[in-house]
Amino acid sequence: MLFASLVVVTGFLGLLAKAAARARRRGISGSMTGPFDEMWHPTAAASHLEIQVQTERKKPLPSPEDL
């Protein structure tokens, strides 16, 4: 029974590690760790939010007078 429990726990931890590696590769880990960053590391959450805003910001279009 102890061996089966160890196998289950080890398998679960292996799946978590695989999911974390996949999330990091695809760049989706920010959304997964966001709530934890806000609780335990607020400056990281603020930095992540600022980076996200800068990424979504678009270059302003030139005015017709500039042409």
Confidence of residue 29 (pLDDT cuts 50, 70, 90): low
Average pLDDT, the chain: 82
Per-residue HEC secondary structure of 1-60 comes to CHHHHHHHHHHHHHHHHHHHHHHHHHCCHHHHHHHHHHHHCHHHHHHHHHHHHHHHCCCC
User: Rounded to two decimals, what is the model's pTM?
Assistant: 0.43
Domains of the chain, by residue range, sit at 1-58
- The string of pLDDT tens digits covering residues 46-59 is 887 888 888 888 87
